[in-house]
Amino acid sequence: MDYAIALAVFALAVALVVIGPLRHGQQGEAAEEARREDLEAAKEAKYREIRDAELDHRMGKLSDEDFRTTDRELRSQALEILRALDELDSGQAETRR
Amino acid sequence: MTGAVGFACLTIGLLAALYAAGAGAYAGHTGRREVAVSARRAIYCLAGLLAVAMVMLESAYLRSDFSYKLVAQNSSTDTPTFYKLTAMWSSQEGSLLLWAFLLSAYSSLVLLATRRRLRDIAPWATAVLGVVAAFFLSLMVVFGQDPFARLAAPPAQGNGLEPLLRHPAMMIHPPLLYSGYVGFSIPFAFAIGALIRRRTDAEWIRATRRFALIAWTFLGCGILIGALWSYSELGWGGYWAWDPVENAALMPWLLGTALLHSVMVQEKRGMLKVWNASLVVGTFTSALIGTFLVRSGVLESIHAFGASTLGGPFLAFIAVVLVGSVALVISRLDSLRTEARLDSLLSREAFFLLNNLVLVALCLVIFWGTFFPLISEAITGSKESVGPPFFNRATVPLALVLVALAGIGPILTWRRVTASTLRRALTAPLAVAGLALIALVAFTGAGRSGPSLAMFTLIAFVLAVVGQEFARGAAARRLVSHESWPAALAALVARNRRRYGGYLVHAGIAVLLLGVAASSAFHAQKDVRLLPGQSTRIDGYTVTYRQPTAAILDDRAGTGAPLSFGAVVDVRRGRQHWVMRPSRNYYAATDGTGGAIGRFFMGDSTSEVDLRWGLRRDVWSAIQPDLTSLIAPIRVADRRFANAPGRVQALIIAALAERYRTHAPAATFRFIVSPMIAWIWIGGAIVLLGALTALWPAPEARRRRATSLAAARLGRELSRA
Amino acid sequence: MDPARKRRVRLVVALTAAVLLAGALVWASFGEAEGAASPSRVLRDRSGRPYQMTGKVVTGSIRHEGEKVLFRVRDRNGTASVPVLYSGVVPDPFRDGREVIVSGHMSRGVFVGQRDSLVTKCPSKFQSKPSGKTI
């Protein structure tokens, strides 16, 4: 008997929590939010790579020539990410207008 | 009531897990966000339910409610409270509950942390985690491993916690190990999601790397704590026996190490994708096998808990996971292959690949040796097994290569290393290693053991490389920032946590292996039978058995043992002098052995080792008291006082104990002098420090994330206005 | 050498190394392996081969004689038993009725155990011990 009551109570509680989003059609966080998070993470990672290359160069592990090539490549990749972020921002500005 | 509530939690939990699996898969397939959120919430609910279940079970233990089978099985009213609480996971059912709880808790944390990212992968990851949770829950709900099982006739007193487990280390050991195993399911789940969605970039790696590192750290700590317990608690004096269960924890750790290194290559160069997919599947599968091995009775092991009914379902689950994952990887091979090629063998990519190969080889060797009884039975028909000599011989060469790689790796850069860079970087460390080699051969006896000498030299090399990296990095900083040395070092580590945390881990492993090599190759051991007053010599120490000791309910370690017999031992070497008190705890037998008095002397007994730590060497002692002189009086006491009241019986036992003390019998001792064994634990601490450094979130990242969130919120609110 | 050929050479070298190492592994393991045997199997074999004998300690058979321990080991499910002479560390859980593994060989009717090879299995925590039916 205790078991049946507990079962019913828990089932109800879980169902309420779980079905909530389905009824409200909750989109969770907006799609742009998610894309922004992904881009931010990628940007952080790219910045770290640039810093790592700088450190390697200053410590003498990367020759000047290798460093120039790597640095240029990484910075152009970072610029692409920043450009994508800007598009996201301007896109949001558009919808706001 | 407790049991009903607890089991209801498990039942609804199973349904929640199944829902998460189904809804997650549906959300992943159709892209419907609300279903994904719903699935995620089901996992949160599962974590809550299992927390309640754990509380229910622990409350039964605290109350000493022996109508519950588990409580009667491994607790008693006289078990100290700390051990009452931790007794839960010394049983099959309780440990499954712990596993499931940790899985649901970690899954909840991860899904919460990644709820804004990886939108196409996260629902599939939720589904996978739901399936794994459902399996473990089904073991409890469907396959009879019910932690809340009741007894029709509750006994008046429980069995008490197994004496060998009455040690703090043994109680943290399972949660640490399970946290490790469970932690590896997170990258696995996200990797499966990424494969299903054909997301071949490194996003899933970036999102789950932290969790993989946390899992690796927990698993490593769990293994080390187990070794520490074995050394400081068992009357054997060793810390690693290549026992199947020990190996089963080591294999996922090795594969996890490979994974942590190999994913860096995918992030930087987009290479080794097939390797990473395979490694993540291998790590998780070996974690499952590890969990399975401990409870299946399939291999003869000191831990073999007898054949249980779980072998079948577990094997089936492992097979499904393995076959399914492999099929998925093969079906995505075209997406995983990359155009990029190794530019040069002298590059970080190449060495990480070599690292993978060595670690996998090490894992395979250990796997071969562990499962050899089954392999040989299949081939030759008879179950044969291999022991430590095989494992040592097979793993030492690979370990040497691994240490060498740990030294060279930090020196290399991506794509290629020029010869001049290599020369600049290697000169100092090689010189240090060379000097170390000469010093070892000239001034110590290390030359006696070739492999040890090689290992010591390589360790010196690794430590020199790590030191050089720190020094050169700080110097490079100072050129620009003109800080003081300490400030530069601190700033260097703070701004490059992953790299320097990793270097610390390398140093820690080197130190750990130093302890392993020195203590294995150069330890001295003596088993000797002494009468009080007699002495023996070991490795320059003179050890004298001064007098016997006997105590009632006075166990220093707080295990609740009624009787302890031991010795006071004098240790001298030159001007050093100290006293050791090894003893043996005796627990009353609960299975009918011995009479009313005799059962206190004939039950389980555990060795209470006395150990003197030292940076240069440990001195370890254990005693096996000889109770034969007490047998006759015990038999008399059993006859005369069988039905005497408890107080009288206690007095008789005390009198017998006193008799042991005054009649001064001989005792068998084991003394071990292990050089540098403490460095194993010190090395482990350094590894932990390095891992924590690498894990620590960078403050700038946190600030930037907050800023973007604020900006987004502003945008939303503006659009609503 | 063009890159494709270089790659093929590397692959061949790697595979050869792998095969050699695997061979060494197999050879080492089969050479060193000790057969596991029950007491009845050990009794049947008169050759004195080394074995890893597994079984249960016969109740009441344990005797300590100075540094040595004498006891009998019987089949897990049976009564055939073998007397064992062992010296070395005696694991903590060693008692009547416990499952043990000891390496050694038969010599003149007594199984002489290798030093420190006695392993006693932790009594099964994962099996119900108290009597009484579960509800």
Full 3-state SS string of B492-513: HHHHCHHHHHHHHHHHHHHHHH
By the 8 A CB rule, do B186 and B113 touch? no
Burial B257-289 (b: 16+ CB within 10 A, else e): bbbbbbbbbbbbbebbbbbbbbbbbbbbbbbbb
- Residue B719: per-residue pLDDT: 57
Look at residue C85 and tell me if it is in a domain. yes
- Residue C123: per-residue pLDDT: 60
DSSP conformation letters of B377-419: HHHHSS-EE--HHHHHHHHHHHHHHHHHHHHHGGG--SS---H
Strands C81-87 and C99-107, by their bridges, are: unpaired
Contacts of B208 (CB under 8 A, 6+ apart): B110, B186, B187, B190, B191
From chain C residues 43-82, the ones with a CB under 8 A of any chain B CB are: 52, 54, 64, 66-67
Out of A23-27, B140-144, B597-601, pick the least confident: A23-27
B482: tokens are: 């003109």
Q: Taking the CB of residue B306, how many other CB atoms lie within 10 A of it?
A: 16
Best CA proximity match to B578, nearest among B570, B586, B590? B570
Look at residue C71 and tell me if it is in a domain. yes
Return left, alpha or beta for C60; rule: phi > 0 is left, psi -120 to 50 is alpha, else beta. Answer: left
Say whether B387 and C32 touch across the interface (CB within 8 A): yes
* Average pLDDT rounded to a whole number, residues A77-87: 87
Look at residue C48 and tell me if it is in a domain. yes
Element containing residue B673 per DSSP (H, E): strand B667-675
- Residue B271: per-residue pLDDT: 87
- Residue A94: per-residue pLDDT: 66
Best CA proximity match to B659, nearest among B639, B640, B638, B631? B631
Residue C92: its chain B contacts at CB < 8 A? Answer: 163-164, 234-235, 604-607
Question: Cα separations (Å) of B492 from B43, B567, B685?
Answer: 40, 53, 21
CA distance B246 to B243: 5
Residue A87 to chain B, least CA–CA distance (Å)? 14
Contacts of B142 (CB under 8 A, 6+ apart): B14
- Residue B223: per-residue pLDDT: 96
- Residue B460: per-residue pLDDT: 96
Say whether B704 and A58 touch across the interface (CB within 8 A): no
Say whether B384 and C35 touch across the interface (CB within 8 A): yes
Return the bridge partners of C52, or none. Answer: C36, C103
Statement: residue B340 has pLDDT above 80? no
* Average pLDDT rounded to a whole number, residues C15-19: 87
Element containing residue B617 per DSSP (H, E): strand B617-625
Strands B524-530 and B667-675, by their bridges, are: antiparallel
B210: tokens are: 């932290």
Statement: residue B363 has pLDDT above 70? yes
Residue B311 to chain A, least CA–CA distance (Å)? 29
Q: Which pLDDT band holds residue C133 (cuts at 50, 70, 90)? A: very low
Statement: residue B156 has pLDDT above 70? yes
Residue C89: its chain B contacts at CB < 8 A? Answer: 235-237, 527, 670
* Average pLDDT rounded to a whole number, residues B325-339: 88
DSSP conformation letters of C42-86: HHH--S--EEEEEEEEPTT--EEETTEEEEEEE-TTS--EEEEEE
B687: tokens are: 């590894």
Say whether B413 and A61 touch across the interface (CB within 8 A): yes
B308 in reach of chain C (CB within 8 A): yes
Q: Are residues C39 and C105 in the same domain?
A: yes
B168: tokens are: 């703090």
Nearest 5°: phi and psi at B567?
A: -150, 155
A79 in reach of chain B (CB within 8 A): no
Statement: residue B346 has pLDDT above 50? yes
A94: tokens are: 């558009």
Q: Are residues C77 and C25 in the same domain?
A: no
From chain A residues 4-33, the ones with a CB under 8 A of any chain B CB are: 6-7, 9-11, 13-14, 17-22, 24-33
Q: Which pLDDT band holds residue B90 (cuts at 50, 70, 90)? A: confident
B575: tokens are: 């001007």
Query: What digits encode the pLDDT tens for the residues B412-440?
Result: 888 888 888 888 889 999 999 999 999 99
Say whether B73 and C129 touch across the interface (CB within 8 A): yes
From chain B residues 26-45, the ones with a CB under 8 A of any chain A CB are: 33-38, 41-42, 44-45
Q: Are residues C52 and C83 in the same domain?
A: yes
Query: What digits encode the pLDDT tens for the residues B9-59?
Result: 999 999 999 999 999 999 999 988 889 999 999 999 999 999 999 999 999
With an 8 Å CB cutoff and a minimum of 3 pairs, decide whether chains A and C touch. Answer: no
From chain B residues 396-415, the ones with a CB under 8 A of any chain A CB are: 411-415
Say whether C29 and B604 touch across the interface (CB within 8 A): no
Q: What is the DSSP letter of B674?
A: E
Q: Which pLDDT band holds residue B239 (cuts at 50, 70, 90)? A: very high
- Residue A65: per-residue pLDDT: 85
Q: Are residues C58 and C14 in the same domain?
A: no
Q: Are residues C45 and C96 in the same domain?
A: yes
Neighbours of chain B (3+ CB pairs under 8 A): A, C
Q: Which pLDDT band holds residue B300 (cuts at 50, 70, 90)? A: low
- Residue B706: per-residue pLDDT: 56
Say whether C64 and B628 touch across the interface (CB within 8 A): yes
Say whether B155 and C130 touch across the interface (CB within 8 A): yes
Q: Which residue has the tokens 């090599």?
A: B517
- Residue C131: per-residue pLDDT: 25
Write the burial class of residue B620 (CB in 10 Å: 0-12 exposed, 13-18 middle, 19+ buried).
buried
- Residue B459: per-residue pLDDT: 96
CA distance B252 to B221: 13
Q: Which residue has the tokens 């407790």?
A: B2
State chain C's mean pLDDT as an integer: 78
Say whether C122 and B73 touch across the interface (CB within 8 A): no
Best CA proximity match to B527, nearest among B607, B623, B610? B623
Residue B668, SS3 per DSSP? strand
Q: Are residues C23 and C69 in the same domain?
A: no
Overall domain count for chain C? 2
Interface test with chain A among B41, B417, B495, by most A beta carbons within 10 Å: B41
Say whether B149 and C32 touch across the interface (CB within 8 A): no
Say whether A26 and B705 touch across the interface (CB within 8 A): no
Best CA proximity match to B614, nearest among B648, B551, B571, B582? B571
Domain ranges, residue C86: 35-120
B429: tokens are: 């460390």
CA distance C55 to C97: 9
Q: Are residues C98 and C39 in the same domain?
A: yes
Chain A, nearest residue to B27 by Cα = A22
- Residue B42: per-residue pLDDT: 95
Say whether B385 and C90 touch across the interface (CB within 8 A): no
Contacts of C89 (CB under 8 A, 6+ apart): B235, B236, B237, B527, B670, C116, C118
ipTM of this predicted structure: 0.86
Look at residue C99 and tell me if it is in a domain. yes
Statement: residue B258 has pLDDT above 60? yes
- List helix spans (H) across B270-310: 273-294
Statement: residue C24 has pLDDT above 90? no
B435: tokens are: 């000097």
Q: Are residues C79 and C106 in the same domain?
A: yes
Question: Cα separations (Å) of B279 from B127, B251, B328, B441, B520?
Answer: 21, 12, 14, 40, 31
By the 8 A CB rule, do B314 and B296 touch? yes
Look at residue C128 and tell me if it is in a domain. no
C41: tokens are: 């199997």
Q: Taking the CB of residue B679, how many other CB atoms lie within 10 A of it?
A: 22
From chain B residues 616-635, the ones with a CB under 8 A of any chain C CB are: 624, 626, 628
Statement: residue B104 has pLDDT above 50? yes
Residue B411: its chain A contacts at CB < 8 A? Answer: 61
Nearest CB partner across the interface for A28, out of B45, B115, B499: B115
CA distance B343 to B346: 9
Q: Give the range with max mean pLDDT: B270-274, B303-307, B700-704.
A: B270-274
Contacts 24+ apart (CB under 8 A), B259-264: B259/B187, B259/B212, B259/B283, B260/B209, B260/B212, B260/B213, B260/B216, B261/B352, B261/B355, B261/B356, B262/B352, B262/B353, B262/B355, B262/B356, B263/B202, B263/B205, B263/B209, B263/B212, B264/B352
By the 8 A CB rule, do B233 and B607 touch? yes
Q: Are residues C47 and C107 in the same domain?
A: yes
- Residue C132: per-residue pLDDT: 26
CA distance B305 to B95: 13
Contacts of B21 (CB under 8 A, 6+ apart): B127, B128, B130, B131, B134
Nearest 5°: phi and psi at C100?
A: -130, 160
State chain B's mean pLDDT as an integer: 88
- Residue B26: per-residue pLDDT: 94
Query: What digits encode the pLDDT tens for the residues B191-230?
Result: 999 999 988 888 888 888 889 999 999 999 999 999 998 8
Say whether C135 and B383 touch across the interface (CB within 8 A): no
Look at residue C12 and tell me if it is in a domain. yes
Q: Taking the CB of residue B650, how many other CB atoms lie within 10 A of it?
A: 16
Statement: residue B603 has pLDDT above 70? yes
Residue A28: its chain B contacts at CB < 8 A? Answer: 33-34, 36-37, 115
Residue B719: its chain A contacts at CB < 8 A? Answer: 95-96
DSSP conformation letters of B77-129: TTS-HHHHHHGGGGSHHHHHHHHHHHHHHHHHHHHHHTTTS-TTTHHHHHHHH
- Residue B356: per-residue pLDDT: 94
Chain B, nearest residue to A30 by Cα = B116
Chain C, nearest residue to B372 by Cα = C29
Look at residue C2 and tell me if it is in a domain. yes
Chain C, nearest residue to B394 by Cα = C25
- Residue B408: per-residue pLDDT: 92
Q: Are residues C13 and C67 in the same domain?
A: no
Q: Taking the CB of residue B185, how many other CB atoms lie within 10 A of it?
A: 26
From chain B residues 450-509, the ones with a CB under 8 A of any chain A CB are: 469, 472-473, 475-477, 479-480, 495-496, 498-499
- Residue B701: per-residue pLDDT: 55
Q: What is the DSSP letter of C135?
A: -
Look at residue C26 and tell me if it is in a domain. yes
Q: Which pLDDT band holds residue B716 (cuts at 50, 70, 90)? A: low
- Residue B298: per-residue pLDDT: 63
Q: Which pLDDT band holds residue B699 (cuts at 50, 70, 90)? A: low
Residue B196, SS3 per DSSP? helix
By the 8 A CB rule, do B667 and B546 touch? no
CATH number at residue C116: 2.40.50.140
Q: Are residues C57 and C28 in the same domain?
A: no
Contacts of B276 (CB under 8 A, 6+ apart): B191, B205, B259, B262, B263, B266
* Average pLDDT rounded to a whole number, residues B649-671: 87
Out of B528-532, C20-24, C28-32, pick the least confident: C28-32
Return the bridge partners of B636, or none. Answer: none
Q: Which residue has the tokens 């038993």?
A: C81
Q: Are residues C3 and C64 in the same domain?
A: no
- Residue B705: per-residue pLDDT: 58
